[in-house]
Every structure is written in C-alpha cells, then in structure tokens.
Amino acid sequence: MTSTPPADLKYTAEHEWLRAGDPATVGITHVAADALGDVVYLELPAEGASVVAGAVVGEIESTKSVSELYSPVTGTVVAVNQAAVDDPAIVNADPYGDGWLFTVQVEATGALLDADAYAALA
C-alpha cells in the first residue's frame, strides 16, 4: 500500500478520490484509511441513487470512529463495491484498487484537487 497519492486521480479535501471514467470510480484515500484504522462497516449509496458533489452519501465505520463519506461528484450511482461491503478490510488493504467504494455516472464535479495539492493538504 502506498501513502503517495496516485497522480492519475483527483481528490477532495475530505479524503475521497475520483478516478475519471464512464462511469467514474470513487474511494477513500490511504490517508483516510490509515486515520480511520481498521474499517469494519461501510454504508454506501444504493445503485440508482442520485448523489451531489460535497454532500454526505454514506458512512465508514472503523474500530476507532464513524466518519461520513462525501461524494466528489454529482450524478447517479451505477455500481457499489459489494466485495468491500462484505469485507470492509479491503478498504484498508487496497484503498486505490480493490477497496473502491462506488461508481457514478457523472453530471458535474465538485471542488477537486490534483495529487500534489492533496499531498500538501494531507
């Protein structure tokens, strides 16, 4: 697992990442996963749900705390990572890969940072 944010992703100040695509993929950063500790439960938006950039779309529960999950984009949820819901430890093990959270058909993006700006913030 790398703590350097991948350059091909965009980031929010709340530690979510966005991989551009059709649909786009959303997850949480290594910084967030590390700060949370062992992730034990994910509450993610349902397939077909509308999400709004900057709005709360779910929760991530760890052995330390419960944190809100924010959407980096506005659009419609296309898919949810059921493997991560079933085994939330995947989020800690591979936050930028198998630990992705959901995909969105993007209508608009929120305020996003590139990897350098996120690294400076984190």
Residue 104 lies in a domain: yes
| pTM higher than the cut 0.85 | yes
Compute the distance between CA of residue 12 and CA of residue 29 in angstroms, rounded to an integer.
9
Q: What is the pLDDT of residues 66-107, one digit of tens each?
A: 999 999 999 999 999 999 999 999 999 999 999 999 999 999
Residue 60 lies in a domain: yes
Residue 50 lies in a domain: yes
Question: In the chain, how many domains are there?
Answer: 1
The two structure tokens encoding residue 24? 């786009």
Name residues whose C-beta falls within 8 Å of residue 89's C-beta, 6 or more positions apart in sequence: 38, 39
Q: What is the pLDDT of residues 3-19, one digit of tens each?
A: 689 999 999 999 999 99
Q: What is the pLDDT of residues 34-61, one digit of tens each?
A: 999 999 999 999 999 999 999 999 999 9
Structural domain range at position 77? 10-115
- For residue 33, give the CATH number of its domain: 2.40.50.100
